[in-house]
Amino acid sequence: MKAAYFVKPGKMEVREFESPTIEKTTDAIIRIVRACVCGSDLWWYRGISARPSGVVGHEAIGVIEEVGAEVKNFKTGDFVIVPFTHGCGTCKVCLAGFEANCPNATEGVNGGYQGEIYRAINADGALVKIPGQPSDYTDEQLDSLTTLADVMPTGYHAAFSANVKEGDIVVVFGDGAVGLCAIIAAKLRGASQIIAMSRHEKNATLAREFGATAVLAERGKEAIEKLLELTGGVGVDVALECVGTKESIESAFQVVRAGGHIGRVGVPHDVVYNEWIDSLFWKNITLGGGVASVTTHDKALLLDKVLDGSINPGKVFTAEFSLDEIQAAYEAMDKRTAIKSLLKIGG
């Protein structure tokens, strides 16, 4: 079988591998239908974070080819979302809805979804059943189903962690695929105003289509001033932090009103917190977030919303590629010519 291979920063190849097989009785072997490239893949593609050479990718949908002897919830032929999380589904942490932190998901989580065949661990707990077969869906529907492996539940996790509720004024930092999905999430949870921070026309247009009621191009100090001005000096009820940089996190800390919430899903990089965390105390601001509860959010809400057409997160895929075009798929995201690159792999 073929799979994408990370050679070194800036260089992806497609290589031939032996197909994975069942190793544990809780595994499932999946024929990948669609996969994609994640913004977080750019950290190592750009050489900013270290990663050894090897197979990569952590978002896909596919059809089960074989299941281990202990798998009860799935059978050969089932069409499934393959989340980047691998929760067992039975421990206290999974039952509390935080499968990204499952203590029983410690092996086999280093990617390989950007390929033809993938071995999923903890199948019963982690995978999410999609009704029917891939051929029952349009291309647009398959795109949206693919986002349920990561970006859509991650955007939702920001809104969930910040407890976005009916009538809230929400600002979203980050106009990449996750930030755009956070806009969908804020709207789903009833936010009355959603302010997107974006200076890229394509992203801003999609932000408005997804539910943003205003788009601001300002950054840093100017962004903070503008947001305070827009809220009569009080600040927003909620900030969704979908970037993870020092500037973005510090901005989020400064624009939320007393008693408001910050939900963060951007992996924090080089942030110095000391001067900010005490300010959260003095302003009664709640800081939540982390790695997304993909399976939980998909099952609770998001799969239904994609199936009934009320949300269309698949629009974040503005470019599509075959597996053989893997280098181009990464380059498109690296150079920002695509918001997110889709990989059409199997039928």
Kindly tell me which residue out of 97, 141, 208, 219 binds its own copies, with binding defined by CB under 8 A: 97
Q: What letter does residue 267 receive in the DSSP assignment? A: P
Q: By the 8 A CB rule, do 114 and 92 touch? A: no
* Residue 267, token pair as written in the block: 């992996």
Q: By the 8 A CB rule, do 112 and 126 touch? A: no
* Under rule CB under 8 A, residue 96 binds its own copies: yes
* Under rule CB under 8 A, residue 43 binds its own copies: no
Alpha-carbon dihedral of residues 270, 274, 275, 277, nearest 10 degrees?
100
For its own copies, what does the binding mask look like between residues 158 and 197, x meaning CB under 8 A?
---x------------------------------------
* Under rule CB under 8 A, residue 109 binds its own copies: no
**How far is residue 317 CA from its own chain's centroid?**
13
**Shortest Å, Cβ 303 to its own copies:** 21
> Between 135 and 274, whose beta carbon lies closer to its own copies?
274
Residues 100, 85: Cα–Cα separation, whole Å: 5
> Between 162 and 306, whose beta carbon lies closer to its own copies?
162
Query: Backbone phi, then psi, for 117, in 5-degree steps?
Result: -135, 140
* Under rule CB under 8 A, residue 48 binds its own copies: no
> Between 94 and 329, whose beta carbon lies closer to its own copies?
94
Q: By the 8 A CB rule, do 226 and 197 touch? A: no
**By CB under 8 A, which span of 11-19, 31-39, 282-290, 299-307 interacts with its own copies?**
282-290
Nearest to 248 by CA among 295, 182, 316, 337: 182
Query: Backbone phi, then psi, for 320, in 5-degree steps?
Result: -130, 150
Kindly tell me which residue out of 63, 215, 238, 287 binds its own copies, with binding defined by CB under 8 A: 287
* Under rule CB under 8 A, residue 208 binds its own copies: no
Q: Which residues bind its own copies (CB under 8 A)?
A: 91-93, 96-98, 100-101, 103, 161, 232, 234, 237, 257-260, 264, 267-268, 271-274, 277-278, 280-291, 293
